[in-house]
A and B are shown apart, each in its own frame.
Chain A
Amino acid sequence: MAEARDPLRYFRIEARELVDQISAAVLDLDQEPGPDLVARLLRYAHTLKGAARVVKQTEIADRAHEFEDVLVPHRGSAVTQMPADEMRELLRLNDEIVQFVRALEHPPREKPAVEQIDDEVPAPRAATADLDELLDAVGEASARIAPLRDGSRTLAGIQRRVEAFSDRLRVARPGGDAGTRAAAQRLAGDMGALGRRLIDAVDQVERELDEVRGRAEGLRLVSAGTIFTALHRAVHDAADAEGKRVRFAAHGAETRLGPQVLNQVNGAFLHVVRNAVVHGIEPEAQRMAAGKPAEGSITVDVQRRGRWIHFRCTDDGRGFDLAALRRVAETRGLLPAGSEPDPQELIDLVLHGGISTSDAVTEVAGRGIGMDVARDVALQLGGTVNIKNWPGQGATVEISLPLTLLSMNGLIVEAGGTVVTMPLDAVRRCVRLPAEDVTTAAASGRFAHEGQVVPFLPLARSIAPAAPDRTGSGVAIVLSADDDTVAVGVDRLAGTTTLVARPLPDLAPAAAVIGGVAIDMDGNPRLVLDAHGLVAAALQDMSVAGSSPEPGPRLPILVVDDSLTTRMLERSILESAGYDVDLAASAEEGLERAHKRDYGLFLTDIDMPGMDGFGFVATTRADPALGHIPAILVSSRATAEDRRRGQEVGASAYVIKGEFNQEELLAHIRRLIL
């Protein structure tokens, strides 16, 4: 028996669970003490004590007992705030229990690693080995089912031969031996029925095994919530050391991702939240004076958008000290003296300028080290870090990472003879379309949905360009991503599935509509579409269908710029790339020209006398005759604010003159007018 060989086997599992629950509940107790919570903690501690006694783990049992002793006086009473020294005692006992339980899981080789307590980070766990075994078993089971399918085919063959035999009996000896003939016919009938039952059963088992496999693969991932307790604890300890009161909240616990990624983010975010407490949250008196609640607040949000996961830490403290940052940046020569950097530029210096590594700056600006770690983690995992600062109101640090393994529900669709999976969470609706509606939607690139015209993309055009155009009925799948809604036309729906999508392998560049790949039941790759890529493709398809109904000659480009040099430079670049170009020296002149001739694209400067480039773009966007023509802003203004404004007024791209790059400009143009 397993218990005889390893008497601690089940205790380890139970203790681990109880310890997780105790660690989380203790922190809650600090924030929201209440009789229920006290009772729950007492129950956990008591259970742990009992179990530990049974398996003779007296160190754990004794500490669980002391833990109870601290809590018992509070039982049933409406505590408003746990005394700080008692909180500390509870946390100390909690930590010791955690250490002992962990030591049981990984028996120390030399001596108990008491020194490691401080920097050891409780890692999110996934029972990987067990899952691998489970997946192997599922694979094995499917392999065993394959012969059954062959068997049912053989059975169908035998049935046909028996039928033929019975026919021969009838023809060869008409009237003779009716009994034998009837028996042969019955035999054929029975075999047919058996064959059908067998096929149904095999189909069903395969479907169910596929479901089991998908869900098991999903279990390889761990939920983001597993790091919340550690973050909460870091906030609590930092606040305690600083003599501050800070409330911790976390959202998005259910988002699932790979344990390695989560581990790294956990490491970086421990710094981020600690920094937020130490440098962000002001002392109580200052907060009161600023009209803020005495208790600071730190919120961690985890959110998945498509293939990206965003970890955000928001505090309501003083924000970054921009004046200090600026002083240091100037003394270190990172900013030209007398320049007027905007606040976001200063903040970005913390991330990109390398000033964060300097001790001097760390003392002034404070958050240096944490930002370094966050930036390194993001770099390693191919992601980015962003900081938003509201002086006096707080700051947000966001790490955005691309996900490698992604557990999702998929909609299996078929288009142009190819079977692919679409992420179900982006799908809003599926509408059956008669044949003529399919043709209309495909030809116009438009589809009417809930009183709104949305772009329509026949999926076959993107994933199977060689397949002949189909003319039958189909299904329009309405999906949303990036706040855009589009419809994608497919030939048929083939059910839903649970799957784990992974990125495309190296050496396999693919169209943007392909988001990744999953492995099907038979071990073959199945493509997984990307909702954002589909939206972009549908929007592009519509602009192509709208601006040039037939592939006629390329439409000319209108360049609007008050600088003669720029006008001439842009004209020479565009003409040598084969475009026909018209010029306008002001936005007003540009508008006049735009109404006289059909253009494929506007290329406009921002700073011009009279109406500026933003105005030009906004005016043309609002004009029904010009709104469909894409516009690119070309400017020496490089700030995020300008880019944002450009996007707001409806520019399709933003090219910075300072880093003026012909190829980049031409790539934008090719993308927009083909």
Chain B
Amino acid sequence: MTTVERRITRLRTDFDRSFAQPQDSHDVEHVELLAVRAAGRPYALRLAQTAGLHPDRPVTPLPGPLPALLGLAGFVGAVVPVYDLAALLGHPAADRPRWLVMAAGTPLLALAFHDVDGHVRVAAEAIISEASGDGRRGVLRGMVALDGATRPIIDVPAARAVVHQMAGHAPGTEEGAAHDVR
């Protein structure tokens, strides 16, 4: 095999592989974050722990025992329970949130919040980590400085765990939540 041929082969393989690999694994030293507001307060979510962001999705209210459960939303034929992130964080009830973010993992779960401040990529060292959250029912894990202000990071798998507990969902079904934590 000539040098040129080898080089072509390598280039082709690299090119093909670049499609096969997920974007975020290219670069471990950065983290994609979603800067959001719930009940007027700033927070951040790890994009890797979510599975889609949707504005103004109609939510059908569901009468029942959980005030944090805002209702049900339809996503391509699936019916997804929507929980109010502000309520999970322990904030008093505010207006109806306008944004939904799908939590990664199963069973299907969407979290609702009020505003999106932006989508940012920060260096991994900009995140102040925390072994286990205990504030706000353990939903928060770590902080990040963005635009001069520090935002608590909402850990989506932890929020999911709180929801599972509230809904009386049998444990052992959180494998989805577990392997999505990268």
Contacts and interface: CB of A to CB of B under 8 A. Distances in A.
Interface of A: 418, 462-465, 502, 504-511, 513-514, 517, 519, 522-527
A528 B62 CA distance: 11
Given A464-B63, A514-B64, A508 B81 contact: yes
Closest 8 A-B residue pairs measured CB to CB?
A: A506-B107, A510-B64, A508-B81, A525-B72, A523-B74, A511-B63, A507-B167, A525-B60
Contact of B62 (A502, A506, A508, A524): A508
Contact of B80 (A418, A463, A505, A522): A505
A418 B79 contact: no
Contacts of A502: 79
Contacts of B109: 507
B54 to A, nearest CB: 12
Interface in B108-124: 108-109
Contact of A463 (B63, B66, B77, B107): B63
Contact of A464 (B61, B72, B77, B168): B61
Contacts of A514: 62-64
B33 to A, nearest CB: 25
B163 interface: yes
Interface string B121-138: 000000000000000000
B24 to A, nearest CB: 27
B107 A525 contact: no
A463 B74 CA distance: 19
Contact of A525 (B69, B74, B163, B173): B74
Contacts of B83: 507
Contact of B167 (A418, A465, A508, A526): A508
15 contacts: A462-B63, A464-B61, A504-B62, A505-B72, A506-B173, A507-B167, A507-B169, A509-B66, A509-B167, A510-B63, A511-B64, A519-B74, A522-B58, A523-B77, A524-B60
The bracket for how many chain B residues form the interface is: 20 to 34
Interface of B: 58, 60-66, 69, 71-81, 83, 107-109, 163-164, 167-169, 173
**A interface SS class:** loop
A365 B56 CA distance: 63
Residue among A464, A517, A524 facing the most chain B CB atoms (10 A cut-off)? A524
A25 B92 CA distance: 68
Nearest to B82: A508
A94 to B, nearest CB: 40
Contacts of B173: 506
B60 A509 contact: no
Contacts of B63: 462-465, 510-511, 513-514
Contacts of B58: 522, 524
Contacts of A517: 60, 72, 79
Given A505-B80, A506-B169, A527 B62 contact: yes
B168 A509 contact: yes
Contacts of A511: 63-65
B74 to A, nearest CB: 4
A525 B61 contact: no
A505 B62 contact: no
A513 B63 CA distance: 9
A497 to B, nearest CB: 15
Contacts of B71: 525
A526 B62 contact: no
Given A505-B108, A507-B107, 14 more contacts: A464-B63, A504-B62, A505-B80, A506-B107, A506-B167, A507-B169, A508-B62, A508-B72, A508-B81, A511-B63, A522-B58, A522-B74, A525-B71, A525-B79
A510 B77 CA distance: 20
A162 B175 CA distance: 62
A315 to B, nearest CB: 38
Given A507-B107, A507-B164, A508-B167, A519 B60 contact: no
A373 B129 CA distance: 53
Nearest to A463: B63
A519 B77 contact: yes
A505 B107 CA distance: 8
B53 to A, nearest CB: 18
A613 B167 CA distance: 39
Contacts of A522: 58, 74
A508 B66 CA distance: 9
B25 to A, nearest CB: 30
A507 B60 contact: no
B58 to A, nearest CB: 5
Nearest to B69: A508
Contacts of A510: 62-64
Contacts of A506: 81, 107-108, 167, 169, 173
A524 B173 CA distance: 26
B95 to A, nearest CB: 14
A464 B71 CA distance: 12
Residue among B62, B78, B107, B169 facing the most chain A CB atoms (10 A cut-off)? B62
Nearest to B72: A525
A382 to B, nearest CB: 13
Contacts of B163: 507
Residue among A507, A508, A522, A526 facing the most chain B CB atoms (10 A cut-off)? A507
Nearest to A513: B63
B150 to A, nearest CB: 31
A509 B64 contact: yes
Nearest to A135: B77
A522 B73 CA distance: 11
Contacts of B79: 502, 504-505, 517, 519, 525
A502 B74 CA distance: 13
Given A465-B63, A525-B60, A509 B77 contact: no
